[in-house]
Structure 1
Amino acid sequence: MHTRPSPRRTSGPRARATARLAAGLLAAAALLVSACSSGSSTTPAGDTADAAPAALPRATPSALSSYYSQRLRWQSCGASGFQCATMKAPLDYDNPGAGDVRLAVARKNATGKGRPIGSLLVNPGGPGGSAIDYLQSYAGIGYPANVRARYDMVAMDPRGVARSEPVKCLDGRQMDAYTQADMTPDDQREQNALVAADKEFDESCGAHSARLLRHVSTVEAARDMDILRAVLGDRRLNYVGASYGTFLGATYAGLFPDRVGRLVLDGAMDPSIDARTLNLDQTAGFETAFQAFSKDCVRRSGCPLGGKGTTPAQVGDHLKAFFHKLDAHPIPTGDADGRKLSEPLATTGVIAAMYDQGAWEQLREALASAMKENDGASLLALSDSYYERNASGHYSNLMMANSAVNCLDLPPAFTGPDQVRQALPAFEKASPVFGDALAWAALNCAYWPVKATGKPHRIEARGAAPIVVVGTTRDPATPYRWAQSLSRQLSSGHLLTYVGDGHTAYGRGSTCIDTSINTYLLNGTPPPPGKRCS
């Protein structure tokens, strides 16, 4: 999940500088708002976490029968071979008569001959990333041919996201101001300005999306997925979710364990940890990724943060010094709207590139342009890709939906600036480079107009079919230990490990990972215990 670079995202931004960065950021989308994604307690992960919501009855309640029996009207849309439809779900599952929410669905039929295995629902994360965009730009054409041959590839934008009655908050000009709010306040005046920016954002969401804000939780989105499963004619749900999409998939498994088909949870989140722990873990994860980037950078000629012999700590000091310089004197970007590269935009740009080592070269070049040529255009482009801002100054609703889901799912990490200041030493220890900014970014849910309905919990999904949980050892946004924890919580969890860098693992170049997951999707055979790939 994510809101101003505070991790929690998974495949969300569409207009990435490169296709691989696009997939990684999408998966990251869910993460950069993790700040609001967990409860406010300080309960560590483990047996002391609350139990997940109880599994729902197997029989469909009569009040929901019309939703489960509806027929979708498919029409051609977007790229060749794709069809789209609109599905209805109750706005409030506790009061189905209170009205509907309309959810956008897309599919691409299986390409092989004979009867397909069924539907394969995909979700790139966020929360807030458009699953339909992801399907049409990548999954529906880029997933392995043998998987696409056997499955109807399907996506649904979750409630409040993109085409599914999107949450609305600030307009483009207001979002420009919001993304440039100083996330490392140096004095009371700057702190007040940051709090005011968060309050304006939160109050705007409440003013423009009052009907939706109480009903965009992950539990509700998971229940929508079960209606879609039934409408598509599938007895069980087959699903691949990345980053936040793993939380959505695990939640489904907890609610409907008997309807779990083949579930892949890639870049797994741990639902049992509280917000502060979650944010500290992610902060440390980004530091780990930056350390790896630093070691790679100084081995290459022209590294803007130091040359051969420079330590990762020194690289970090150089980057921090650059951020501090921008804090006082933003640099030109050539932006049509007059935006300069400020400290918060530069920080976002660097964090965006941490999701995929394939973006490291782009980051080196962007830093060189900014630090040596006083040109911030490339770093601004990275920041814009993270926020899904186009050249016309229009933002997708990624950030808005992200906050809406995260702030409803779990209580805020911090309830006010005093708590942030008290936590700063721990965050700065976790990441000398990003800790300050990520701690303050975790304040955004403090002023949310709707009270959270969820809290940290364990998900066991007893009775579910085997579920594959994928963890990357140096994942910046979803630390590896989260995958370890989730695989232990799930009664049928199977951990698949990728030893490497970057956010998520499937489809990112590891033949071992891809073969393991494809075998599971096609044959239902999970990887053996302790399976590790590189």
Structure 2
Amino acid sequence: MRGTTLAAVAVAAVLVLSGCVSSAPVTGPNVAPEKVAADLQPFYSQKLAWKNCQSEGMSCTTVTAPADWAKPSAGSVKLAVVRHVTTSAHRVGSLLVNPGGPGGSGFDAVAQSLDYLTNASVQKAYDVVGWDPRGVGRSTPVTCLDGAQMDDFLYATPTEPEGSDAWLASRVPVEKAFGAACLKNTGALLGHIDAESNARDMDLLRSLLGDKKLHYLGFSYGTFFGAQYAKLFPTKVGRLVLDGPVDPALTEPQDFTTQMAGFESSFRAYVTDCLAAAGCPFSGTLDDALAQAKALFQKAGTEGLTISDGRQLNLGVLGTAISYPLYDRDSWPSLSSMIAGLQKGSAKLAFNFADAYNGRSSGAVYDHSVDVYTAALCLDGAYPTDLAGTRATMNAIAQAAPTVGEILSYSDWVQVSIACQNWPYRNVLTAEPIHAEAAAPIMVVGTTDDPATPYSGAVALADQLDSGVLVSRTGEGHTAYASGNACIDRTVDQYLVKGTVPTADPHC
């Protein structure tokens, strides 16, 4: 399941961002170009033309980066950048922000959801900068299928029982065709959507923004970009906050299994809360309710529930729908409404959640986040080489997450692992711990019942990093900062604004 800040996801689902408004350029930092290799000099010495855009205090520009950092002269990509400019005389620098994904729009996150991402003291101390990573949104995009083709790819009624060996085999030609379409419609960029390339883009942005050190706020998969940056450029690390982190030392089968266990834990917490409230669609003990849920999901995902546009609910789509409201405790009542609808034979809310998660708006218009997600994961990790490996991890997921894990895996682990077995490009990265020797203190923030990036990942990453500082939040939901926990906000704000590092985990 993709991990991203729910505030950014929710806003992106309902708002349409207008293009940058042409106006007089906004003055940027006046700094000398960095000393870099000759073939990188044109990129690090480019002049940025900032223009006022979006709303008061916002400015936009476009940055040119090498498509292939190992061969800078072989082509380039465009990165769309937006910043909220501070007027404070005590400006610390620029703060890059990434909301996660992979495939989330940092441009939209800052332009539309700045107050959901950062507190006022941080906005005063920094120019807050969002960008669409390579392949995403307004930057040079990854494009695979058109809307009708994506509908068929994500929502088509399976010809074989989901979860069966025959169904797995039927997915192979589908995923091969998807990868071939991505290559045809994207070109060579498809092989350079990896986290290391994004980290090098971040260093370019840091330099062009006039900062000697990188200050960064990364959520969910955005933490992987930050960790890769710390590995590549440890002496350029400024103040890095990695909230809801991915554990870089986990193999992909381990990572997906751990994540599905996280969703199982969050679903159990949701059901426990639901049973204590009026109008809960379940009854009896927790075990009773979990059994009711599993039976309902199996029935609803196989009985052919259809919505007005003709799409028919299947188990994989239902798994996607279940995961979406588990990202945020405030969305649990909406999950209850969806489940009550399923009990009455209505799949409308289930499709609403699945569409929001898949970046689909009315008329089968997609934001291509699914394309980037698959392309990035295929480059950022190693997957089983055959369906037997896919099946082995499906079994591990079903054991670790017995209520929801299996159906959640159908539209995620199964899709990704088979796609990556047949991807046009080999993986760039493999699982390994990241130490970032000589880096300044790096703040790692974890939530004890985070469904998408379980708390164990935060503990592991903070331990791996030579300068890792763990900050824990006790509670439910994906990521912690700027979500209403005063202790977390105070700790992160003091670190970003003043550089204050807690002497011990505050256990917020």
TM-score, normalization by structure 1: 0.86
Aligned: 1:453 with 2:428: yes
- 1:88 aligned to which of 49, 64, 67: 64
- What is the distance in 1 between the residues matched to 2:171 and 2:291? 25
| Aligned pairs (5 A) from 1:108-127 | 108-110=84-86, 112-127=87-102
- What is the distance in 2 between the residues matched to 1:153 and 1:140? 11
- What is the distance in 2 between the residues matched to 1:508 and 1:159? 28
Aligned: 1:149 with 2:124: yes
2:224 partner letter: F
2:374 partner letter: S
Inter-CA distance 345–302: structure 2 relative to 1 (3 Å threshold): same
Inter-CA distance 462–186: structure 2 relative to 1 (3 Å threshold): closer
**Per-residue deviation at 1:152?**
0.5
**Per-residue deviation at 1:78?**
2.5
Aligned: 1:62 with 2:38: yes
Contact 1:346 1:383 in 2 (8 A): yes
**Per-residue deviation at 1:449?**
1.1
**Per-residue deviation at 1:323?**
2.4
Q: Provide the residue aligned with 1:515 in structure 2.
A: 490
Q: Provide the residue aligned with 1:352 in structure 2.
A: 324
Contact 2:44 2:208 in 1 (8 A): yes
Q: Provide the residue aligned with 1:212 in structure 2.
A: 189
| Aligned pairs (5 A) from 1:78-477 | 78-110=54-86, 112-139=87-114, 143-181=118-156, 182=158, 185-304=162-281, 306-307=282-283, 309-311=284-286, 313-334=287-308, 337-372=309-344, 374-412=345-383, 414-437=384-407, 438=409, 439-443=413-417, 444-477=419-452
Contact 1:268 1:469 in 2 (8 A): yes
Q: Which moved more, 1:146-155 or 1:438-447?
A: 438-447
Contact 1:341 1:377 in 2 (8 A): no
Inter-CA distance 21–287: structure 2 relative to 1 (3 Å threshold): farther
* Length, aligned pairs only: 483
**Per-residue deviation at 1:367?**
1.2
Q: Deviations over 1:389-431 (max 9, x none)?
A: 111210101111111111112222x222222233333221101
Inter-CA distance 71–59: structure 2 relative to 1 (3 Å threshold): closer
Contact 2:380 2:430 in 1 (8 A): yes
- What is the distance in 2 between the residues matched to 1:524 and 1:235? 15
Inter-CA distance 102–401: structure 2 relative to 1 (3 Å threshold): same
Equivalent position SS for 1:469: strand
Runs of 4+ aligned structure 1 residues displaced above 6 Å come to none
2:54 partner letter: G
Q: Provide the residue aligned with 2:24 in structure 1.
A: none
- What is the distance in 1 between the residues matched to 2:495 and 2:468? 13
Q: Provide the residue aligned with 2:21 in structure 1.
A: none
Larger RCO (CA within 8 A; separation ≥ 6): 1
Q: Provide the residue aligned with 1:25 in structure 2.
A: none
- What is the distance in 1 between the residues matched to 2:146 and 2:180? 13
Contact 1:469 1:483 in 2 (8 A): yes
Q: Provide the residue aligned with 2:19 in structure 1.
A: none
1:401 partner letter: V
Q: Provide the residue aligned with 1:37 in structure 2.
A: none
Q: Which moved more, 1:119-128 or 1:434-443?
A: 434-443
- What is the distance in 2 between the residues matched to 1:138 and 1:496? 24
- What is the distance in 1 between the residues matched to 2:195 and 2:68? 13
Q: Deviations over 1:96-136 (max 9, x none)?
A: 111211111111101x4314111011000111001000111
Inter-CA distance 141–76: structure 2 relative to 1 (3 Å threshold): farther
2:221 partner letter: Y
- What is the distance in 2 between the residues matched to 1:99 and 1:355? 38
Equivalent position SS for 2:436: coil
1:220 partner letter: S
Contact 1:254 1:459 in 2 (8 A): yes
Q: Which moved more, 1:457-466 or 1:134-143?
A: 134-143
Q: Provide the residue aligned with 1:10 in structure 2.
A: 4
- What is the distance in 2 between the residues matched to 1:314 and 1:468? 41
Equivalent position SS for 1:496: strand
**Per-residue deviation at 1:154?**
0.4
Contact 1:91 1:99 in 2 (8 A): yes
Equivalent position SS for 1:508: coil
**Per-residue deviation at 1:247?**
0.6
**Per-residue deviation at 1:239?**
0.6
Contact 1:316 1:432 in 2 (8 A): no
Contact 1:12 1:398 in 2 (8 A): no
Contact 1:475 1:504 in 2 (8 A): yes
The gaps in structure 2 that reach 5 residues or longer are 15-33
Q: Which moved more, 1:214-223 or 1:435-444?
A: 435-444
Contact 1:289 1:474 in 2 (8 A): yes
- What is the distance in 2 between the residues matched to 1:84 and 1:530? 38
2:110 partner letter: L
- What is the distance in 1 between the residues matched to 2:13 and 2:78? 31
Inter-CA distance 187–261: structure 2 relative to 1 (3 Å threshold): closer
TM-score, normalization by structure 2: 0.90
- What is the distance in 2 between the residues matched to 1:184 and 1:529? 51
**Per-residue deviation at 1:326?**
2.8
**Per-residue deviation at 1:483?**
0.6
**Per-residue deviation at 1:445?**
1.6
Equivalent position SS for 1:329: coil
Equivalent position SS for 1:450: coil
**Per-residue deviation at 1:141?**
7.0
Inter-CA distance 186–224: structure 2 relative to 1 (3 Å threshold): closer
**Per-residue deviation at 1:168?**
0.4
- What is the distance in 2 between the residues matched to 1:411 and 1:369? 39
Q: Which moved more, 1:436-445 or 1:359-368?
A: 436-445
The gaps in structure 1 that reach 5 residues or longer are 1-6, 23-57
**Per-residue deviation at 1:60?**
1.9
